[in-house]
């Protein structure tokens, strides 16, 4: 690159000398134009002729000087004439300012930086340096100020100082500054905003070249290194390597004298404050003149001495004629001492009382209209039992029904007519009756005490009766296991009195359930421990225990209607076992207090469990082990609707009465 040629030094020196000469000439010209104060005063007070003469003959006054026009108008707003500031701006290059503190007038008012509105309605405006009040002066109204301005031509020089409550007269310098500020100029006339530029750069040869290259592009692009650092910080925060300071908890405010309810919950030592219980108020028996019913006899007083000291009454009522004849209480000091011991030694506990409306605790029963259809009229009544009916069972064809009562009798009824076909007197209270599910086997299983009776009802044709008599005949007494040894769990015996078989158990039998094929039946003995549930085979006359461990007290058992699955219900839940694989399939969580009964749908896909508190759990075997729905205050059993369509089923209400079994007929 070609080097820039620098001008010679001689030419620069000449230019500087010329500028210095011009500056000297300007200062001389400025001194000649200055006018003293007397001439200015004469110019302000003169008339229009004198003003024109001064403009033509005398020195020319610039607009920076103070003057008042002949009309008396404010010279701050008088724009007549043209400015002549060329010489003054060039002659004065520096600004002369005074730094002396003597030029400043010390304020009389010593109130400091206080709003003057505080003294608006007061008679004084502040205090002087001696501490005395500075009383407010009487202000002129607008009319007085107008007349004063007409009389005095320099009245416009005065301004009101609100801080010191006095009028201050502006100087010529201050009026000059105000005039220039009103015109939008610099306050000082010596300042020239358009002064010629002075090149202070030296054009000598330098050791290093000057660079005027453009800014690089990297200064306008986001930094990649900074973005990587930000990503690194973000990952460290997510991993927990960088932890922020926890925000400081604000101090908890509380009332100083303990009126706050939350502050009284804990005492100074940190423990919960519980007020002392109040002493028991005296009753009618502690009156000085109680009723005769409260005064014990001498025999009762003597019987008190035979009681333990804890059970003995602490006060024996007595009657006095007047209140002044009542003596001092003997146990006053002792009771006060015992109360102090209780307050000092016994721990206190706060009991929260819950105010509950008793009506809200009652169950909300549904409307009767929503429960339709339900039994309305009595269709048929079966009379004959002398005690409460404990169990009923319907025959497979639906023509016959069997009932067992606590009076020790078992009866077979015809459903349509209510005729009692047959009666057995068992001798003990009957707990359960169950018909054989096969239509050709009219056998009734009855549990009475520790025995289970298999009775021949006498129904069916001759061929069916021969088959039933053959099944209910025992050739050898006792039951044999696979090795030929007589088992001691249950004994099979022929019952000639009732024409059937008697199975003698070692504990009370609560329920009996048949298998769908009619050859097996299960019995439940709640007090039988590990042998509580037994399975009997009618064809082989043998008894065996279930190969499962019982968990809890068994309540009832039932076979699956289509598969080799066995249900065992305890007081809390229901366990489902596979008889072929001999393992647990599912555990149904009921959530009930005490299970009372269990029923399985004829298709085997739904199970309902009833409880003694009136709740019923509905389980779907294809879903989870939790109940599909929970019904309250109802007792239901699944039943098959005759034999027309096996896929349809209905709910049958089972009613247990004392003297009879009631059946209701209704249509769905």
How large is the angle between the packed helices 37-45 and 48-56, nearest 10 degrees? 130
For residue 16, what pLDDT band results from cuts at 50, 70 and 90? low
Lowest mean pLDDT, pick from 26-35, 55-64, 291-300, 450-459: 55-64
Tell me how far apart the alpha carbons of residues 59 and 31 are, in angstroms, rounded to a whole number. Answer: 11
- The answer to whether residues 16 and 42 touch, using CB atoms and an 8 Å cutoff, is no
Alpha carbons 201 and 220: distance in angstroms, whole number: 31
Tell me what pLDDT residue 225 has: 93
CA distance 588 to 600: 13
Residue 476: per-residue pLDDT: 66
Exposure letters 52-89 (e unless 16+ CB within 10 A, then b):
eebeeeeeebbbbbbebeeeeeebeeeeeeeeeeebbb
Contact between 423 and 413 under an 8 Å Cβ cutoff? The reply is: no
Q: Is the pLDDT of residue 428 over 60?
A: yes
* 3-state secondary structure at position 87: helix
Give yes or no for a contact between 424 and 455, defined as CB atoms under 8 angstroms apart.
Answer: yes
Is the pTM here over 0.95, yes or no? no
Say if CB 479 and CB 490 are below 8 A apart. Answer: yes
How many structural domains does the chain have?
2
Residue-level pLDDT at 160: 82
Q: What CATH number is given to the structural domain containing 423?
A: 2.130.10.10
Q: 129-158 pLDDT, tens per residue?
A: 888 888 888 777 888 888 888 888 888 888
Decide if 622 is inside a domain. Answer: no
Check pLDDT > 70 for residue 101.
Answer: no
Domain closes at, from 182, 212, 229? 182
Judged by phi (left if over 0) then psi (alpha if -120 to 50, else beta), residue 240 lies in: left
Q: How far apart (Å, rounded) are the C-alpha atoms in residues 470 and 14? A: 156
pLDDT digits (tens, 9 = 90+) for 399-411: 889 999 988 899 9
- Spatial separation of the C-alpha atoms in residues 369 and 363, rounded to whole Å: 18
Cβ–Cβ < 8 Å for 596, 612 = yes
The answer to whether 415 touches 436, Cβ cutoff 8 Å, is no
Query: Which stretch, 87-91, 119-123, 201-205, has highest mean pLDDT?
Result: 119-123
Cβ neighbours around 199 below 10 Å, total = 7
83 is a domain residue: yes
461 domain residue, yes or no: yes
pLDDT at 254: 67
Q: Would you place residue 60 in the very low, low, confident or very high pLDDT band (cuts 50, 70, 90)?
A: very low
Task: Identify the pLDDT of residue 231.
Answer: 95
Residue 371 has pLDDT above 80, yes or no: no
Distance set, CA 397 to CA 393, 438, 460 (Å): 12, 9, 11
Residue % of the chain over a pLDDT of 90: 7
Which tens digit of pLDDT belongs to each residue from 473-522? 887 655 445 444 335 678 888 888 888 888 888 888 888 999 988 888 89
Residue 150 to residue 43: CA distance in whole angstroms? 18
- Give the pLDDT confidence score for residue 585 in this predicted structure: 87
In tens, the pLDDT along 267-300 reads 555 667 788 888 888 888 788 888 888 888 999 9
**Torsion angles phi and psi, residue 598, rounded to 5:** -145, 145
Q: How confident is the model at residue 46 (pLDDT cuts 50, 70, 90)?
A: very low
| Residue for token pair 């209209």 | 369
DSSP label of 162 = T
Q: Quote the CA–CA distance of 108 and 126 in Å, as a whole number.
A: 9
Is residue 667 a part of any domain in this protein?
Answer: no
Give the Cα separation of 71 and 76 in Å (integer).
Answer: 14
Whether pLDDT at 163 is above 90: no
Q: How is 359-397 classified by DSSP, letter by letter?
A: HHHS--PPPGGGG-S---S--EEEE--SS-EEEEEE-TT
Sign of CA dihedral 568, 570, 576, 581: negative
Instruction: Estimate to the nearest angstrom the gap between the alpha carbon of 377 and the chain centroid.
Output: 52
Is 439 inside any structural domain?
A: yes
Q: How far, in Å, CA of 487 to CA of 452, rounded?
A: 17
pLDDT at res. 364: 82
pLDDT at 106: 65
- The two most distant CA atoms of the chain are separated, in Å, by 170
Q: What pLDDT does 611 receive?
A: 85
Average pLDDT over the chain reads 75
Q: CB neighbours (10 Å) of residue 10?
A: 7
Q: What percent of the chain is predicted at pLDDT more than 70?
A: 74
Quickly state the pLDDT bin for 233 (edges 50, 70, 90): very high
Q: In whole angstroms, give the CA distance from residue 395 to residue 382.
A: 16
Last residue of a domain, one of 182, 207, 223: 182
Q: Which of 512, 530, 545 is the last residue of a domain?
A: 545
C-beta separation of 386 from 407 below 8 A: yes
Token pair for 415: 């459903």
Q: Provide the H-helix boundaries in 63-129.
A: 86-91
Tell me the C-alpha distance between 410 and 368, whole Å: 35
In a domain, 269, yes or no: no
228 pLDDT higher than 80: yes
Whether the ω angle into residue 373 lies within 30 degrees of 0, i.e. cis, is yes
pLDDT at 369 over 60: yes
Label residue 360 by pLDDT band (50, 70, 90). confident
pLDDT in the model for residue 550: 82
Residue 635 has pLDDT above 70, yes or no: no
Predicted local distance difference test score (pLDDT) of residue 15: 64
Residue 339 pLDDT level (bands cut at 50, 70, 90):
very high
Does residue 424 fall inside a structural domain? yes
508-566 residue pLDDT tens:
888 899 998 888 889 998 887 778 888 898 888 888 888 888 888 888 889 988 888 88
Identify the burial level of 553 via C-beta atoms within 10 angstroms of its C-beta, where 0-12 means exposed, 13-18 middle and 19 or more buried: middle
pLDDT of residue 547: 83
Domain holding 178, by residue range, is 27-92+106-182
Among 65-79, 349-363, 448-462, 517-531, whose mean pLDDT is lowest? Answer: 65-79
11 pLDDT band, cuts 50/70/90, is low
Is residue 10 included in any domain, yes or no? no
Per the CB < 8 A criterion, the answer to whether 618 and 631 are in contact is yes
């Amino acid at each position: 690159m070609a080097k820039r040629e620098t001008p010679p030094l001689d030419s620069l020196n000449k230019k500087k000398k010329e500028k210095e000469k011009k500056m000297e000439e300007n200062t001389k010209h400025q001194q000649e134009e200055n006018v003293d104060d007397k001439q200015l005063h004469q110019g302000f007070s003169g008339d229009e002729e004198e003003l024109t003469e001064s403009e033509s003959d005398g020195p020319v006054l610039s607009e920076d000087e103070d003057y008042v026009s002949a009309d008396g108008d404010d010279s701050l707003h008088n724009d007549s004439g043209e400015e002549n500031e060329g010489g003054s701006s060039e002659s004065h290059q520096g600004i002369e300012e005074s730094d002396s503190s003597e030029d400043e007038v010390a304020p009389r008012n010593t109130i400091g930086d206080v709003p003057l509105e505080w003294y608006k309605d007061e008679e004084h405006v502040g205090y002087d340096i001696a501490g005395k009040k500075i009383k407010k002066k009487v202000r002129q109204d607008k009319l007085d100020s107008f007349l004063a301005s007409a009389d005095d031509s320099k009245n416009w020089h005065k301004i009101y100082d609100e801080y010191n409550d006095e009028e201050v007269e502006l100087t010529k310098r201050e009026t000059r500054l105000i005039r220039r500020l009103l015109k939008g100029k610099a306050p000082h006339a010596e300042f020239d905003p358009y002064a010629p530029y002075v090149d202070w750069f030296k054009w000598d040869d330098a050791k290093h070249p000057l660079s005027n290259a453009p800014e690089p592009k990297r200064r306008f692009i986001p930094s990649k290194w900074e973005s990587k650092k930000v990503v690194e910080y973000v990952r460290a925060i997510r991993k927990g390597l960088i932890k922020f300071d926890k925000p400081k908890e604000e101090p908890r405010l509380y009332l100083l004298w303990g009126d706050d309810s939350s502050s009284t919950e804990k005492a100074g030592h940190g423990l919960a404050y519980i007020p002392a219980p109040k002493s028991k108020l005296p009753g009618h028996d502690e009156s000085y003149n109680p009723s005769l019913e409260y005064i014990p006899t001498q025999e009762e007083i003597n019987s008190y001495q035979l009681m333990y000291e804890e059970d003995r009454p602490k006060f024996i009522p007595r009657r006095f004629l007047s209140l002044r004849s009542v003596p001092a209480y003997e146990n006053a000091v002792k009771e006060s001492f015992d109360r102090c011991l209780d307050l000092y030694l016994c721990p206190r506990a706060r009991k929260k009382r819950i105010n509950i409306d008793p009506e809200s605790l009652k169950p909300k029963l549904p409307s009767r209209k929503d429960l339709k259809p339900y039994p309305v009229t009595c269709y048929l009544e079966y009379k004959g039992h002398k005690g409460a009916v404990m169990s009923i069972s319907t025959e497979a064809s639906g023509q016959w029904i069997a009932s067992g009562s606590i009076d020790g009798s078992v009866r077979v009824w015809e459903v349509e007519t209510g005729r009692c076909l047959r009666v057995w007197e068992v001798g003990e209270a009957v707990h359960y009756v169950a018909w054989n599910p096969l239509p050709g086997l009219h056998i009734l299983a009855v549990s009475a005490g520790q025995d289970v009776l298999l009775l021949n009802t006498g129904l069916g044709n001759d061929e069916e009766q021969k088959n039933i008599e053959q099944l209910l005949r025992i050739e050898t007494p006792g039951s044999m296991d696979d090795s030929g040894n007589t088992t001691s769990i249950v004994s099979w015996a022929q019952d000639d009195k009732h024409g059937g078989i008697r199975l003698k158990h070692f504990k009370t039998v609560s329920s009996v359930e048949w298998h769908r094929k009619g050859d097996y039946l299960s019995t439940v003995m709640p007090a039988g421990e590990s042998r509580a549930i037994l399975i009997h085979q009618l064809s082989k006359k043998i008894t065996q225990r279930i190969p499962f461990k019982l968990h809890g007290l068994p309540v009832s058992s039932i076979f699956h209607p289509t598969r080799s699955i066995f249900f065992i219900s305890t007081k809390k839940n229901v366990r489902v076992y596979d008889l072929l694989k001999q393992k647990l399939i599912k555990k149904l969580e009921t959530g009930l207090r005490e299970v009372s009964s269990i029923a399985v749908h004829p298709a085997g896909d739904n199970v309902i469990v009833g409880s003694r508190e009136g709740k019923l759990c509905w389980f779907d075997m294809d879903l989870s082990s939790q109940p599909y729905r929970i019904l309250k205050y109802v007792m239901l059993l699944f039943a098959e609707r005759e034999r027309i369509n096996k896929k349809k089923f209905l709910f049958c209400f089972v009613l247990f009465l004392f003297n009879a079994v009631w059946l209701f007929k209704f249509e769905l």
